[in-house]
Amino acid sequence: MSYNFCNMKKHTILTLFLLLIVVTMNAQKMEKPANNPLVEKWNTPFQTPPFEKIKTEHYMPAFKYALSVAEDELYRIKAVKMKPTFENTIEALDRSGKLLGDISGIFFNLLEANTSPEMQKIAQEISPALTDFSNRMHLDPALFNRVEAVYKNPGNLTPEQKMLLEKTYKSFVRAGANLSDEDKEKYREYSMRLSTLSLKFGENVLNSVNAYTKLITDEKMLSGIPESALAVAREKAKAKGQDGWLFDLSMPSYLAVLTYADNRELRKEMYMHYNTRAFGGEFDNQAVIKEILTLRDAIAKLLGYNTYADYVLEERMAENAKNVYDLENQLLKHALPVAKKEMKDLQAFAATQGFNEPIQRWDFSYYSEKYKTSLFNVNDEMLKPYFKLENVIDGVFGLATDLFGLTFVPNDKIQVYHPDVKVYEVYRGKQFMAVLYLDFHPRDSKRGGAWMTAFREQSRDKDGNDTRPLVSLVMNFTPSTADAPSLLTFDEVRTFMHEFGHSLHGMLSEVTYNSLSGTSVPRDFVELPSQLLENWSVESEYLNKFAFHYQTGEPIPAELIQKIKDFDNFHAAYACVRQVSFGLLDMMWHTTAPDKIKDIVTCERKAIAKTELMPVVEGACMSTSFSHIFAGGYAAGYYGYKWAEVLDADAYSLFQEKGIYNKEVAESYVKNILSKGGTEKAMDLYMKFRGRKPKIDALLKRSGLVK
């Protein structure tokens, strides 16, 4: 499924902002740095970042100044002589730190999408300092006393205000506000170190990816690989002044080899390099993982929780580890027997191709693709001509127009951080909703995967003036070549729809407070809008609107659409088991006492043993590149993809019942979920849309796991 590649997609600026909001209670504002575009008023369309003016050397002075401004704002909140109220304390806290949020939104997003060694060095310097300031705010007794006073005597508040109050109070408590002075010092130390380690983990993964390339000059080694992938490999070699075909660990390049290369040794080599990212050598993450887990466990223990998973899940829809394991085990009960049969059938098919050895992991995609082609007479190379990137953009935008009345206007006057980026103004009727940035293709300065983020979240000021969001989608899709435009695989089309679903959550937000805006919802709820949108990708009524052959202009044939539907559940049980294995691995890391973690590989294998469908590969390790949980926001939360898949299948069943373009259902979805952000409890929002609690039945049926 496409979301398997959506690493850390959900990095919203809210998450960063909550980590970075700061205070030194008696500090003075420093002088504003001169000629620094990051701290000036942006006289740009929709106050978008002036990327063309921003230089790396601007960040540190801007951060330091923004910190001093935030310190002053928060000092003023604490210094108010009047009794604490929602307005002068809770609301004031939410509205503080805007400049810091803007600068953080630019820097940390570009750190992932267009980084450099210089930016990585700045991140290592600024992140601990920002975490330290955050700790000083949350651990300051006087400020917490004001928050607690409002929490105990809230007065007459709206539902949104009640939610903001609850989240603010819990953010202090969960950051150690009730700890003793001695334990507060420990919390500071642990959280400071964690901020550095998370960055280090991500850097090690990116550096290990960039450290490997495979130049092939013997054309015989390339047998089976489609010409479209070879063209990209030729372009990569040419860009580095080399003759031949250059492959790397970016997803389009890696999958082209694993899926199509007849040369088994080449597949194995690529597999091993991909699955040993940051495992051993210069960029080894094993010690980093152990220290991260030790610190997370120590923080959980300080705050009164048995495990880090208990600490995390308290604020999620799942609520506790038992509910997570119940879901995972229920899915395995249905999926594992089917997945084993899928593997048995694939092994038998491979035998018909003259392959009589046990299928290894570098064989799976290769024979799976051949088997799929034999069963359905369709493969990605047959489909790609109908998924020219520009046409897919039209299709995705068109779906948003048909369902939600959105229109998209290109604007080349808005500055971008890289020439590849496209920008659109987004409207609903005549109302301006957002600026949308689209960044599609791999480069050395961008980490792998696909994700939605924001340079600015939606909010309203005291006078009701609406600040609209600046949303960005970052992906790693097949690029164009000198001979052909960018033609997407069907999985890439789905990934685009997945991330666009996240963007709808951000763009259609209609709330008052920044910290409740858009995707500021529990991790096991945030994937609902993204995964829901994927459902349209197999609907003929949708595909007929944009899937035209890039050369002839002919629409995608009806029989090809039927084949897409037919193979949609091909190896669905395998995919389910694989996804559950990731969730089980994550839960193991965050429920196991750190002193029992002696060897990363041994623990990993034990955690996922019951989900294994192929022989274990010696020398491989997944955890050292598991950025979702060690460098992102999904620690003890990766199960959320499957949790939200229950929600999305159940939600889409309502569209299927009423019509996949039903305006009433679509409007209800906007009203009750997309526009609400985190202003109400996730389950309450879902029930308002669906009319009841979610059921697992639709997911099992959609996946072909029950009749």
Q: Which residues are catalytic?
A: 499
Q: How many residues does the chain have?
A: 707
- Residue 331 backbone phi and psi in degrees, to 5: -65, -45
Closest CA to 128 of 175, 176, 197: 197
Contact partners, residue 413, CB within 8 Å, separation at least 6: 45
Three-state DSSP class for residue 149:
helix
User: Is 689 buried (19+), middle (13-18) or exposed (0-12) by CB count in 10 A?
Assistant: buried
**Rounded Cα distance, 89 and 146, in Å:** 7
Q: Is the distance from CB of 517 to CB of 458 less than 8 angstroms?
A: yes
Q: How far is CA 347 from CA 120, 357, 486, 558, 613, in A?
A: 45, 9, 34, 31, 11
- Residue 19 backbone phi and psi in degrees, to 5: -75, -25
E strands of 422-469, at which residues?
Answer: 422-428, 431-439, 451-456, 459-460, 466-467
**Rounded Cα distance, 18 and 575, in Å:** 34
Q: At what angle do helices 523-534 and 640-658 cross, to 10 degrees?
A: 40
Q: What is the chain's alpha carbon radius of gyration, rounded to the nearest angstrom? A: 25
**Rounded Cα distance, 646 and 641, in Å:** 9
**Rounded Cα distance, 653 and 665, in Å:** 11
Contact partners, residue 348, CB within 8 Å, separation at least 6: none
β-sheet bridge partners, residue 416: none
Q: Is the distance from CB of 584 to CB of 562 less than 8 angstroms?
A: no
**Tokens for 377?**
């007479």
Contact partners, residue 445, CB within 8 Å, separation at least 6: 113, 114, 115, 116
**Rounded Cα distance, 440 and 115, in Å:** 16
- In the numeric block, the tokens 């059938």 are attached to 345
Q: Is the distance from CB of 509 to CB of 671 less than 8 angstroms?
A: no
Q: Is the distance from CB of 61 to CB of 36 less than 8 angstroms?
A: yes
Q: How far is CA 330 from CA 224, 296, 580, 643, 697, in A?
A: 39, 28, 10, 12, 12
**Tokens for 93?**
């806290």
**Rounded Cα distance, 233 and 230, in Å:** 5
Three-state DSSP class for residue 434:
strand
Pairing mode, strands 431-439 and 470-474 = parallel
Question: DSSP 3-state helix, strand, coil percentages of the chain (rounded to 5)?
Answer: 60, 5, 35
End-to-end C-alpha distance for the chain, whole angstroms: 21
Q: Where are the alpha helices (DSSP H) in 590-639?
A: 600-608, 627-630
**Rounded Cα distance, 223 and 236, in Å:** 19
- In the numeric block, the tokens 């620094």 are attached to 36
